[in-house]
Amino acid sequence: MWGMAGWTGSEEKQVNEALDKAIELGCNFFDTAWAYGDGLSEEILNKTLKRHPGKKLYTATKIPPKNRKWPSQPHFTLQEVFPADYIIDYTEMSLKNLGVDSIDLQQFHVWEDNWAQLDEWKEATTKLTQQGKVKAWGVSVNRWEPDNCLKTLKTGLIDAVQVIYNVFDQSPEDNLLPLCREKNIGVIARVPFDEGTLTGTFTKETNFPGNDWRATYFVKENLLSSVERADALKPLLPQGMTMAEMAIRFILSNPDISTTIPGMRKIHNVESNMSCSDGNGLPANLLHELKSHRWDRQPTVWSQ
Ligand SMILES: NC(=O)c1ccc[n+]([C@@H]2O[C@H](COP(=O)([O-])OP(=O)(O)OC[C@H]3O[C@@H](n4cnc5c(N)ncnc54)[C@H](OP(=O)(O)O)[C@@H]3O)[C@@H](O)[C@H]2O)c1
């Protein structure tokens, strides 16, 4: 639910219709964050919950870093990013924005594994859990740093991890997914379309308005190499399958993945993505072929 409250091209009516359609088609898990429009995306989810009072819909949100820096850096202290009183204050704000008594999954919007053994976050999370204000805790691991949470997961205090995992970004398979399997930690695969390039709709001329986050992410260096790599996937498409469908089915073919959270704002995207929830993965030979399209990237100035 990031794009709905932060990217250009979101219209309230269309967004609400897309959410209602998703629920009609069986979607019951929604990922938002306080930072998506400073509470706006959470409020969109609040209204959605109210429009569907009879359904159990799961709310996942995130506490923004206090210093407002994405991603965090190894030298940032827990005190400057997630002090205990701040964890509590932002959880209270999210409860209000969402209009719920309890958040199903509260996540840290950035993370550094060298905070694993510090007491402050553990005390705050334990208190909120005991008060019934949060049911489960998650770490949203920084872009292209899937291992930057492994020690934290071993504390036993984290129930779910949100990580970039898609046809390009397969590196979570190395260490993170086996650990989650061993510890029974939920895995939310985010950014299934690599922010859009894996839908196959981008060209080397694609550009975004200056007030759209994607203008700062799809800098020339990133756009050109991403489009080339996405185009290289097109000959692999089975007859009648779109790139978006192949991208989602790749993720859902992996039994270590609990769910994936495509950014959806339009009914036709909702219908296409929800149709991949039929339990059918990709054929083994295609999965094998897609393995070789793994693209290991390092965080850089524009990657955020
Ligand atoms: N640090 C974090 O914790 C973090 C960071 C990033 C994302 N997230 C979460 O992950 C979610 C997904 O990531 P994302 O939205 O950044 O990227 P994404 O899901 O990889 O890509 C979203 C883009 O794909 C397009 N799209 C969706 N379904 C499509 C389909 N069937 N066919 C063609 N195009 C399709 C959307 O189109 P439109 O533009 O037309 O809507 C949008 O431009 C976010 O909304 C957010 O909840 C979390």
* DSSP strands (E only) in the chain: 29-31, 58-63, 105-108, 137-140, 160-164, 186-190, 259-260
Fill in the amino acid letter for 249. R
Give the chain's mean pLDDT: 97
Residue with token string 């779910």: 160
Which whole number is the average pLDDT over 257-285? 97
Cβ–ligand 1 contact at 249 (below 6 Å): no
Express each pLDDT in 121-130 by its tens digit.
999 999 999 9
Cβ–ligand 1 contact at 37 (below 6 Å): no
How many angstroms separate the alpha carbon of residue 265 from the centre of ligand 1? 9
Cβ–ligand 1 contact at 133 (below 6 Å): no
Cβ–ligand 1 contact at 72 (below 6 Å): no
Q: Tell me if the pTM is above 0.75.
A: yes
Instruction: Give me the phi and psi of 291, to 5 degrees please.
Output: -55, -35
Express each pLDDT in 14-46 by its tens digit.
999 999 999 999 999 999 999 999 999 999 999
pLDDT of residue 76 exceeding 90: yes
**Whether 31 contacts 39, CB under 8 Å:** no
H helical segments located in 33-77: 40-51
Cβ–ligand 1 contact at 226 (below 6 Å): no
- Give the β-pairing of 259-260 and 186-190: parallel
Given ligand 1 and candidates 106, 149, 206, 269, which is best to mutate, with the most ligand atoms within 8 Å of its CB?
269
How many angstroms separate the alpha carbon of residue 137 from the centre of ligand 1? 22
Nearest to 169 by CA among 149, 208, 148, 195: 195
Give percent of the chain with pLDDT exceeding 70.
Answer: 100
pLDDT of residue 10 exceeding 90: no
Express each pLDDT in 172-207 by its tens digit.
999 999 999 999 999 999 999 999 999 999 999 999
CA-CA-CA-CA dihedral for 166, 217, 15, 98, to nearest 10: 90
pLDDT of residue 7: 86
Cβ–ligand 1 contact at 138 (below 6 Å): no
